[in-house]
């Protein structure tokens, strides 16, 4: 069985579906295939089932990659406000949770339904449970052999299979391999927006803290000699929640910093940001020197954390028994805790993949491969990685839309 279409899109995730809608609306015949049993599975589980579908403040500064400016054009041509209008037209109620992050009031499934309805209306054909076994250049276009034995010929081929995170959900490196097959460079990939892990010795010491969350400021400085392309040399910091886990640290601030951190490097954590811990302990000492140090610290940070900090610093006894130097040490242990994670939880739990198809291989307005006419790459497969907070979906919408205007 063989079929000829204008556009073959591989991957019915956020970017692929957006591209299918736009290309279909332009009158292109579109086939979109996915090996999963349902489209948009990552949309479904995103944002705790409510999908953080965009961020009001989206701009190139919220992205990492060899060339973060690459995203500017697509993000400007199809903005967060364009997507919000689409969501409004579909009568999907939403709210801003925090830091410009927009979530569905009800369910992420509404976003998937909006996209699948639009695809149907635009005439795009969605085929699920199908993988691409082989793809090759054929004349001016491409020929793809699908896992059901059929062959699809297409003038345009869109790589939209996303990154490698959460393989259990069907994530593969297909887009990277196919890009390489056509001679496109792919940058190193690594798990990002991912919890960080500690070595067993430290884990044992921190075990009582497992499950505790605090508001924190987490920062990281790229070593001057360790800079890879796109890695900022200045300090990067995020002020958001942090969670102690039985493996290490998680929570939004840690996920954010994980995209900047590399093995062997340290992060610095302030667990009582904005508080002068030294001054408060000193005042407590003057007021009541008989108070236990960990009790006084427990008025500034959660009690469990106060006890753990005192134990790790070897500080016992009453405030009256400790000098200024010790109080300063406690201040540092709380607000300038410098720690070296040993690794991350990896693709198993990472929200995204850092790196991907090199942006210098692509046209920034259209996502077309410069050297391979008719080939496009969109979404997470491209070396454009957003912060936590709706930025990655906005990139998927914007890049999918941009390719959909021309493919």
Q: Using CB under 6 A as the criterion, which residues of the chain lie in contact with ligand FDA when the complex forms?
A: 10-16, 34-36, 41-42, 45-47, 51-52, 131-132, 160-162, 165-166, 170-172, 174, 351-352, 379-381, 390-393, 396
Distance CA 343, CA 194 (A): 10
Q: How far is the CB of 388 from ligand FDA (least distance, A)?
A: 8
Ranked by CB distance to ligand FDA, the top (closest) residue is 13
Q: How far is the CB of 42 from ligand FDA (least distance, A)?
A: 4
Q: How far is the CB of 7 from ligand FDA (least distance, A)?
A: 15
Q: How far is the CB of 354 from ligand FDA (least distance, A)?
A: 11
Which residue lies nearer to ligand FDA by CB, 73 or 398? 398
The residue written with tokens 């640290």 in the block is: 249
Distance CA 148, CA 250 (A): 42
Distances (CA, A) of 337 to 253, 266, 268, 390: 14, 10, 5, 29
Distance CA 44, CA 50 (A): 8
Supply 48's token pair.
């705790």
Distance CA 51, CA 90 (A): 15
Strand partners for 386:
63
Q: How far is the CB of 171 from ligand FDA (least distance, A)?
A: 6
Which residue lies nearer to ligand FDA by CB, 11 or 404? 11
Which residue lies nearer to ligand FDA by CB, 29 or 349? 349
Which residue lies nearer to ligand FDA by CB, 50 or 294? 50
Radius of gyration of the chain (CA): 25
Which residue lies nearer to ligand FDA by CB, 160 or 306? 160
Q: How far is the CB of 372 from ligand FDA (least distance, A)?
A: 19
Which residue lies nearer to ligand FDA by CB, 291 or 359? 359
Q: How far is the CB of 175 from ligand FDA (least distance, A)?
A: 7
Which residue lies nearer to ligand FDA by CB, 45 or 371? 45
CB 12 within 8 A of CB 33: yes
Strand partners for 269:
218, 337
Distances (CA, A) of 151 to 51, 115, 132, 135, 360: 35, 26, 9, 9, 31
Q: How far is the CB of 218 from ligand FDA (least distance, A)?
A: 19
Strand partners for 52:
103
CB 123 within 8 A of CB 30: yes
Which residue lies nearer to ligand FDA by CB, 260 or 397? 397
Helices marked H in 298-380 = 303-313, 324-335
Residues contacting residue 65 through CB under 8 Å, at least 6 positions apart: 71, 187, 230, 354, 355, 356, 359, 382, 383, 384, 385
CB 249 within 8 A of CB 220: no
Which residue lies nearer to ligand FDA by CB, 52 or 222? 52
Q: How far is the CB of 159 from ligand FDA (least distance, A)?
A: 9
């Amino acid at each position: 069985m063989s079929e000829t279409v204008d556009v073959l899109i591989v991957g019915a995730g956020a970017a692929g579906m957006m591209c299918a809608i736009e290309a279909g609306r332009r009158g292109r015949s579109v086939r979109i295939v996915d090996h999963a049993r349902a489209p948009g599975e990552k949309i479904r589980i995103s944002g705790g089932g409510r999908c953080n579908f965009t961020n009001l403040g989206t701009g190139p500064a919220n992205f990492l990659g060899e060339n973060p400016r690459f995203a500017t054009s697509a993000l400007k041509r199809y903005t967060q406000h364009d997507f919000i209008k689409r969501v409004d037209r579909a009568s999907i109620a939403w709210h801003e949770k925090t830091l410009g992050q927009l979530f569905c009031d009800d369910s992420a499934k509404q976003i998937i339904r909006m996209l699948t309805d639009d695809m149907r209306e635009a005439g795009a054909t969605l085929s699920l449970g199908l993988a691409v076994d082989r793809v090759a250049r054929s004349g001016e276009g491409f020929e793809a052999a699908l896992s059901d034995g059929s062959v699809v010929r297409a003038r345009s081929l869109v790589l939209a299979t996303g990154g490698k995170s959460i393989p259990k959900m069907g994530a593969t490196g297909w887009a990277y391999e196919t890009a390489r097959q056509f001679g496109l460079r792919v940058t190193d990939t690594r798990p990002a927006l991912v919890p960080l892990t500690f070595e067993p010795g430290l884990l044992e010491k921190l075990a009582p803290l497992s499950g505790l969350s605090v508001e924190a400021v987490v920062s990281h400085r790229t070593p001057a000699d360790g800079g890879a392309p796109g890695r900022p040399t200045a300090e990067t910091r995020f002020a958001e929640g942090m969670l102690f886990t039985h493996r290490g640290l998680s929570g939004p601030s840690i996920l954010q910093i994980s995209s900047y951190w590399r093995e062997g490097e340290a992060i610095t954590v302030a667990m009582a940001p904005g508080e002068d811990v030294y001054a408060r302990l000193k005042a407590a000492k003057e007021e009541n020197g008989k108070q236990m140090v960990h009790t006084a610290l427990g008025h500034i940070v959660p009690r469990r954390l106060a006890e753990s900090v005192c134990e790790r610093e070897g500080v016992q006894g009453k405030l009256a028994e400790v000098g200024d130097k010790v109080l300063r040490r406690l201040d540092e242990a709380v607000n300038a805790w410098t720690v070296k994670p040993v690794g991350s939880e990896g693709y198993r739990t990472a929200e995204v993949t850092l790196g991907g198809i090199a942006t210098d291989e692509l046209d920034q307005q259209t996502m077309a491969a410069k050297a391979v006419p008719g080939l496009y790459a969109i979404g997470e497969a491209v070396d454009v990685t957003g912060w936590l907070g709706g930025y990655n979906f906005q990139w998927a919408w914007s890049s999918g839309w941009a390719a959909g205007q021309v493919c």
